[in-house]
Chains A and B, each alone.
Chain A
């Protein structure tokens, strides 16, 4: 693959592919739950295959910008995650009927705790005033205040206030559910 821009410029096509693969691995490691840890290699592989197929299909592949290829890899990743989750649900139904319970990757107790907190956060977010909900959601997704402001199309100061007040309301709501952040 030859990325039109970036640090692959002048490098071999394989170097561009390797960069994309590394970025995919990093993104998955940072974002995916531990329960998917054993599927990460497969997920990366599927996304990479989609990119390579696209390159083969399009003889003018040199025109494909890296932004476009990252987007293709991302879309493939989401498709595959959907398939993995669907298979997981089917497997869960089968397991419920099975006498032997398999061990899930990661710490099951920790996963259950995370799931409980995450559910409570989602419930509480729904109870917030819309603007606060949007601002706090982006904050919890890891965006800085300027990033959140730009995404929402609001002033930074306003976004900061909404996050601050939204977090207060979120804390109050979580405490009624027995959760202290």
Chain B
């Protein structure tokens, strides 16, 4: 008598592929899709419990499932488009540094000195020009300005962000990330130029952690103006 193995009850890879094909070729329509929500779930910009709520809809609705697959494809393409400019992790940078410098002691020393010199000049020039060290990236810096003093560490229970600019904006979105650029909180449709980050979303961060925040202005014509990323420390 042959013994029945547990894997006999599952679906093999070919079977899974057949089901995927059927789901893809199904032309059934479904409920209207909140494209922005699906995109943010796929990009992991939503908290895990909200992502799971979106996946529930994907399980039940063919339109949401199709939107999810499209978001997967497009987000992967977007990531590839941005990949060359991505900041290397510290480990990658160390490894790369090791490979580059090995066997080049004299050149290494000279180049290192040159880098330090150039760096010092750049920093000095920035300071002379009054460049904002708390401005990390983003472009419409003139448009949206932080009203939180940059050197101030904010308390967990009153992590209040304030900004100004873009007088024509109808409402605002705020995105908050940790130092490793992981978005851990986002809020939409704010009507005030002020937002208090809930203490509950800051619990994971240690005291002194740098919190990055970015504001998007929604314009009357549907356009979006993004501000620079500002940084404040957690008290």
Number of interface residues of A (CB under 8 A): 80
Q: How distant is the Cα of A164 from the Cα of B21 in the complex, in angstroms?
A: 19
Whether the pair B29, A23 counts as a contact (CB closer than 8 A) is no
Q: Which of B41, B48, B59, B226 has the most CB of A within 10 A?
A: B59
Q: How distant is the Cα of A85 from the Cα of B62 in the complex, in angstroms?
A: 12
Whether the pair A81, B66 counts as a contact (CB closer than 8 A) is yes
Number of interface residues of B (CB under 8 A): 69
Q: How distant is the Cα of A66 from the Cα of B75 in the complex, in angstroms?
A: 10
Whether the pair B73, A27 counts as a contact (CB closer than 8 A) is yes
Whether the pair B28, A119 counts as a contact (CB closer than 8 A) is yes
B71 in contact (CB, < 8 A): yes
How does the 8 Å CB contact mask read for A9-42 relative to B, with 1 for contact and 0 for none?
1000000000110011011101111111000000
Query: Please, which residue of chain A has its CB at the minimum distance from the CB of B6?
Result: A168
Contact of B60 among A26, A74, A88, A125 (CB under 8 A): A125
Contact stretch, chosen from B30-38, B94-102, B195-203:
B30-38
Q: How distant is the Cα of A70 from the Cα of B74 in the complex, in angstroms?
A: 7
Whether the pair B19, A57 counts as a contact (CB closer than 8 A) is no
Shortest beta-carbon distance, A10 to chain B, in Å? 10
Q: Which of B26, B38, B223 has the most CB of A within 10 A?
A: B26
Which residues of B from 52 to 96 have beta carbons under 8 Å from A?
Answer: 52, 55-56, 58-60, 62-63, 65-75, 77-86
Shortest beta-carbon distance, A140 to chain B, in Å? 6
Whether the pair B72, A70 counts as a contact (CB closer than 8 A) is no
Whether the pair B78, A71 counts as a contact (CB closer than 8 A) is yes
Q: How distant is the Cα of A168 from the Cα of B6 in the complex, in angstroms?
A: 9
The residues of A that contact B52 with a CB separation of less than 8 Å are 134, 152-153
Which residues of A from 103 to 152 have beta carbons under 8 Å from B?
Answer: 106, 110-111, 113-115, 117-119, 121-122, 125-126, 130, 133-134, 137-143, 150-152
Whether the pair B77, A65 counts as a contact (CB closer than 8 A) is no
Q: How distant is the Cα of A28 from the Cα of B19 in the complex, in angstroms?
A: 19
A155 in contact (CB, < 8 A): no
Q: How distant is the Cα of A121 from the Cα of B62 in the complex, in angstroms?
A: 11
Given contact pairs A32-B66, A85-B63, A113-B22, a sample of 19 additional A-B residue pairs in the complex whose CB atoms are under 8 Å apart: A5-B81, A5-B85, A6-B80, A6-B82, A7-B84, A31-B24, A74-B74, A78-B35, A82-B33, A114-B22, A115-B25, A115-B26, A118-B22, A121-B23, A122-B60, A137-B59, A138-B55, A140-B20, A181-B18
Q: List 6 A-B contacts (CB under 8 A).
A: A60-B225, A66-B78, A114-B21, A121-B22, A139-B16, A171-B11
Considering the complex of A and B, which 7 residue pairs feature the smallest CB-CB distances, nearest first? A63-B139, A153-B48, A118-B26, A181-B15, A27-B73, A70-B78, A5-B85
